[in-house]
Structure 1
Amino acid sequence: VIESGGTMLFVGTKKQAKDVMKMQALRCHQFYITERWLGGMLTNFMTIKKNIKRLKEIEKMRAEGILEKLTKKEAKKLEKEAARMEKYLVGIKDMYSLPALLFVVDTKKERIAVAEANKLGIPVIGILDTNSDPDPVNYPIAANDDAIKSISIITKAIADAAITAQTRVRAEEMEEAAASQTEMEPPVEEGQ
């Protein structure tokens, strides 16, 4: 998926998974959700994009000092709005299209995310405990989804695979660029 230019969304809102999911998603330059899954985050992505745009507008206003020129009440209202959106959207702030793949810790807890991905035909990799249904998950990983150690090991392996794919893509792009560069250069004749 990564090799073909797609993106991955790491989803883990349970306490044990939050830090690991965020760290590994950032390490492999992918997106993440570690706070509550907002219903419609995938199926109603246009609304989520509007919220992200609004968040960026408020951040721009803050950076340009426009908030300081507003009344205290207006500025406080905008800051509160930005803080709320930042909490839930920070990991997808730069996600401009739907992800090509979802990686989920505890598919039972994240059943809404899995259902939305299934509805849109987005493949799901999921860490499943014995209490989870493997049917809605395209690539189930049977493991303890409550233990920090198992979550860490599996999430690191997923992130490593994404990094390997990204490295492979960059290497191919560099080879293609080098090949097209040598085709464009005229041959050097001896004696000049």
Structure 2
Amino acid sequence: MIPRRVVARSLQPSSKFLLRIRSATLETSLTSCITELISLYSPCLRQHRSISTETSPGSSNPAAPKGPLIVDFDEQVKLAASEPSRSSIIPQTRPQASGRPLTKLEEYQRLKASKHASDLIGGVLEDHYKPHELITNPPSPRDITLELLLASGAHLGHATALWNPGNQRFIFGIRQGIHLISLDVIAAHLRRAAKVVHGVSKNGGIIIFVGTRDGQERAVVEAAKRAKGYHVTERWVPGTITNKDQLLSEQKVRILNYLDQEIRLTEQEKLELKQKLAGENGDIHRIQVEDTAQVPFGYGAIRPDLVVCLNPLENKTMLQECAQYRIPTIGIIDTDVDPTCVTYPIPANDDSLRCVQLIVGVLGRAGQEGRLARYEEETNRAEELKRRQKRLEETERTLEEATTTNQVYKDAEQAASESRQRELERESLISNR
């Protein structure tokens, strides 16, 4: 905000003028007082200075004067022109000759210099909200703050006439006929849900992100990519869980390791698999086997370990299927939604796209952190196995060397005893002769 400026001078009235006012009689006319006032302050009014009616907000010195902040534009122009880093931006003005009026160019340059000097006064506002960052770089669960939830509009519920009584423990109050959700409750439930996603991803579980409303597709896809899970953005097909063997019968199921890598078959394993598929009298050369390990055809489709639903009202069939097979679910519960339809409710505004992007971004980041923790543990476990194998090999080699050395010693002792025995026999034969 540009401060208001007035033309005045920060000077106190002279004592001479005060004495005149005090000693003036009642018969002194108002016109004479105004005339004396103008005559006293006319030299001051000739010196035009721009001062601000607001005090300096950043002054932390208690000894600093509390009067108005005086700003001299001529001095500001000189200081700005003397800066080496910004001297090229300020237009250079030619000094005015005595008695010569300024030209149009000089007036324009002086105006630009004054504007540049005034722009240096005050703070600079920066952009705080960048919409794309909630998708490309979502916050971590540990970075959840009440200010972030408040800015995303997560606390705004529906009208009081549409509320579900099961959400009474989540509601903070009512304002203008709208229920307000407590920000503390939102943060606590969101951290709990993020911890659940982190644990499932860390143990190698399958997570499905479901968001079928307009505008949720990009955020859902990015969250699924981070957690190495799956996503549904168009429509949940009824029977995907309850009738999976019929709907997903043509889908292949592959075997992955703890690093989410497909397990490759060796040549010996491929040959054994061909012989098993061909039978006793079949030709194994006509059977094609892929390089990656696969689950047998009759195994069936695999059910997910966790489902994250962003709009439970439109996906009641999915939630019922998950409840039938005891699959845990996480959902955004607004004030008009039954909180018992999901396992881990997150009370928030499901109509705000910014709020939905924030929540699904946090859950996707939690899944990513859990996956990276699993990778780290698996790497450490593999390194520990290598170290144990190396120690075992060293121990076996040491035992083998020790056994070999003992055997050499025994052989040497036996050879020495045999030679000694032959010498004794030879000596006994010689003595008998």
Query: What TM-score, normalized to structure 2?
Result: 0.33
Unmatched tracts of structure 2, length 5 or more: 1-199, 253-300, 399-433
Matched residue SS, 1:174? helix
Matched residue SS, 1:50? coil
- For residue 20 of structure 1, the aligned residue among 210, 215, 219 is 219
Matched residue SS, 1:103? strand
Matched residue SS, 1:10? strand
- Structure 1 position 97, deviation (Å): 1.4
Which residue does 1:8 correspond to in 2?
207
Counterpart of 1:110 in structure 2: which amino acid? N
Quick one: higher RCO (CA 8 Å, sep 6+), 1 or 2? 1
Which residue does 1:163 correspond to in 2?
368
Distance in 1 (CA, whole Å) between partners of 2:247 and 2:352 is 31
Which residue does 2:228 correspond to in 1?
29
Q: For residues 45-84 of structure 1, what are the structure 2 equivalents within 5 Å?
A: 45-52=244-251
Q: For residues 1-192 of structure 1, what are the structure 2 equivalents within 5 Å?
A: 1-52=200-251, 97-185=302-390, 186=394
Distance in 2 (CA, whole Å) between partners of 1:100 and 1:169 is 16
Distance in 2 (CA, whole Å) between partners of 1:129 and 1:19 is 22
Counterpart of 1:177 in structure 2: which amino acid? A
Matched residue SS, 2:374? helix
Per-residue deviation, residues 134-186 of structure 1 (Å, max 9, x unmatched):
11211000111111101110001111111111111111111111111111122
Counterpart of 2:364 in structure 1: which amino acid? A
- Structure 1 position 23, deviation (Å): 2.0
Whichever of the two has the greater Rg, that structure is: 2
Matched residue SS, 2:313? coil
Matched residue SS, 2:202? coil
Which residue does 2:430 correspond to in 1?
none
Distance in 1 (CA, whole Å) between partners of 2:336 and 2:251 is 35
Counterpart of 1:174 in structure 2: which amino acid? T
Counterpart of 2:236 in structure 1: which amino acid? W
Distance in 1 (CA, whole Å) between partners of 2:320 and 2:359 is 22
Matched residue SS, 1:16? coil
CA contact (8 A) 2:226 2:367 kept: no
Aligned-pair Cα RMSD in Å: 1.7
Query: What TM-score, normalized to structure 1?
Result: 0.72
Distance in 2 (CA, whole Å) between partners of 1:146 and 1:52 is 35
Distance in 2 (CA, whole Å) between partners of 1:161 and 1:142 is 18
Distance 1:124 1:178, change over 3 A: same
- Structure 1 position 107, deviation (Å): 0.8
Matched residue SS, 1:135? helix
Which residue does 2:284 correspond to in 1?
none
Distance in 1 (CA, whole Å) between partners of 2:308 and 2:302 is 16
Unmatched tracts of structure 1, length 5 or more: 54-95
CA contact (8 A) 1:7 1:101 kept: yes
